[in-house]
Chain A
Amino acid sequence: QLVESGGGLVKPGGSLRLSCAASGFTFSNAWMSWVRQAPGKGLEWVGRVKSENNGGTTDYAAPVKGRFTISRDDSRNMVYLQMNSLKTEDTALYYCTNLGKVPWGQGTLVTVSS
């Protein structure tokens, strides 16, 4: 399963770090993505980190590139999303997922507002 945490209320320009704890599958082999969903809107891919066996490289969606950073800690079965220079349009429910057979978690809500 996947359990996200770390969401909350933050002012524009602020930072937040989301965490995702994984269990029940071989995490070290998984390519992990973050996907967000603004209130009442559809799903938007934020970015991905590949497995270390595939270089552990990251890719990001254009709206967050340069502001967000995804990392992983295979020793702890954790994936992280560091969000800097937050904007009001980053307000959303954030999910971590392998976009595959592992069930999605409940997500963690990030609200960017003054």
Chain B
Amino acid sequence: DIQMTQSPSSLSASVGDRVTITCRASQSIATYLNWYWQKPGKPPKLLIYAASSLQSGVPSRFSGSGSGTDFTLTISRLQPEDFATYYCQQSYNTPITFGQGTRLEI
């Protein structure tokens, strides 16, 4: 199974900060990598697909990069609505696996 490891597990930041979350795969997954965010009591929402493509409707302050085993999600200027839990997910092969999540807090 491909293990997805996110870092950090939690992060405190302020409105306006630039934030980077990393996701490392235990083997190469090319760019078969999605990023989601999830707010309490809500389902996950797709932010980035194929490692770097911005999902329609997602603000341009979000960006994704990487290929192979190392990936990053960057939020250029944090907004109040960005405080949530973020997950990476690989679909290179089954079992499909998620990172453990990164909780972004004020």
Contacts and interface: CB of A to CB of B under 8 A. Distances in A.
9 contacts: A42-B98, A43-B98, A45-B96, A59-B94, A60-B95, A100-B46, A101-B49, A104-B43, A106-B43
B46 A42 contact: no
Nearest to B97: A45
Nearest to B95: A61
Interface string A76-110: 00000000000000000001000111011111000
Contacts of A42: 87, 98-101
Interface in A8-57: 33, 42-45, 48
A104 B55 CA distance: 14
Interface size of B as a range:
20 to 34
B1 to A, nearest CB: 8
Interface residues of A, number: 19
Contact of A101 (B36, B46, B97, B101): B46
Contacts of B96: 33, 45, 48, 99
Contacts of B101: 42-43
B43 A105 contact: yes
A99 B34 contact: yes
A106 B43 CA distance: 6
B98 A107 contact: no
A18 to B, nearest CB: 15
